[in-house]
Amino acid sequence: MSLYAAIDLHSTNSVLAIINDAGQPVLQCRRPNDLPRLLDDLHPYQSELTAIAVESTYNWYWLVDGLMDHGYPVQLVNTLAVPQYQGLKHGDDHSDALHLAQLMRLGILPQGYIYPREQRSTRDLLRRRFLLVRQSTQLMLAIESSFSRETGHPLTSNHVRHLTAKQVESAFPDPVTRYGLLVQLKLWSALQTQITALEHWVQHNLAHPELLVRLRGVPGIGVILGMTILLETGAIDRFASVGDYASYCRMVPSVYLSNGKPKGHGNRKCGNRYLCWAYMEAANYAIRFDPAIRRWYDRKRARRHRVVALKAVAHKLARACYCLWLEGTAFDTTRAFG
């Protein structure tokens, strides 16, 4: 007899449900987020379990890795794609876990990608860089605003990067205002130091540095964008087609059509926001420094909105990266934008 298990994971506890071939519950329980306790509940059924579905939004590493280390086949649920059941008068965590187990039994459980743990921490470290850069930009804008407010003269980003404490003292006679600006300047400087160190760490720990070299051959993609694309994509063969990859990069419009007319929108946040950012940044640089891509963009821009044209360039770059990654070829401008 085959059994199907599902765990609805929350921040402090988990709800476990196990059903049999007939869809009847075998076990239902709520447990604290403690791996040994969950393993004790699962152990009597281990030989009969087909797989364990884990539904979580952010805190699944410890559970999925722990279950896999003990020999359990695990399926990570794609939460946004789970079909919702209709007609229930009452629903709770137990019914949610049972619903996931039933979807697995029927073979229609939407699954997410379990990123390999060997590179997962490196990918997450690069995501932390994304946050630090945003904080650094906020501090820089605050410093520029303070200068403009107190002196009446604008301050560029390049001036902020070379600003000294002596220049701040001469520009701000008020000690309170000067102290606040010096604090912001020191925080910005500290963030820049940590961002640089983080970038070197990530580049040193890349699993496939040769792929980074090939990605940097694409116009607009440098070291940071190349590392982001490399780490966020993961195994390229997990995408069945170039269209699937473009959709994962949020390059495909989310719209419902009927008789050629839009009837609504789907989930526009479905996909990887870091890949979307990386390809949009690459598109901005590509149209500035590659004449052929710039001409293609200008023709698109003459007919459509600027953002639509830029997104079209990013879409082209994403498809080109997929092909050169999968085929082992170099970037060809004529093939991508001909």
Same domain for 181 and 135: yes
Is residue 114 in some structural domain? no
Q: Which two tokens stand for residue 184?
A: 């912001």
100 and 125 in a single domain? The answer is no
Q: What is the pLDDT of residue 256?
A: 67
The helix or strand, by DSSP H or E, that contains position 5, with its residue range, turns out to be: strand 3-9
Helix (H) or strand (E) holding 104: helix 93-106
* Residue 219 and residue 327 in one domain: yes
Crossing angle of helices 35-42/61-69, nearest 10°?
50
CA distance 267 to 35: 33
- 248 and 330 inside one domain: yes
Query: Structural domain tally of the chain?
Result: 3
Token pair 């195994």 in the structure block, residue: 235
Q: Which helix (H) or strand (E) holds 172?
A: none
pLDDT at 155: 81
Its domain, for residue 327, covers 209-337
| pLDDT tens for each residue of the chain, 338 residues long | 799 999 999 999 999 999 999 999 999 999 999 999 999 999 999 999 999 999 998 899 999 999 999 999 999 999 888 877 766 667 788 999 999 999 999 999 999 999 999 999 999 999 999 999 999 999 999 988 888 887 777 888 888 888 887 888 777 888 888 888 889 889 999 999 999 999 999 999 898 889 999 999 999 999 999 999 999 999 999 999 999 999 999 998 877 667 677 766 666 678 899 999 999 999 999 999 999 999 999 999 999 999 999 999 999 999 999 999 999 889 999 988 97
CATH number at residue 49: 3.30.420.40
CB-neighbour burial class of residue 287 (10 A; exposed 0-12, middle 13-18, buried 19+) = buried
Please tell me the pTM assigned to this model.
0.88
Please tell me the predicted confidence (pLDDT) of residue 254.
74
Reading the block at residue 68, the tokens are: 């896999």
Conformation bin of residue 107: beta by default, left when phi > 0, alpha when psi is -120 to 50: left
The first and second tokens of residue 105, run together, are 């039994």
Residues 283, 315: one domain?
Answer: yes
Query: Do residues 196 and 225 share a domain?
Result: no
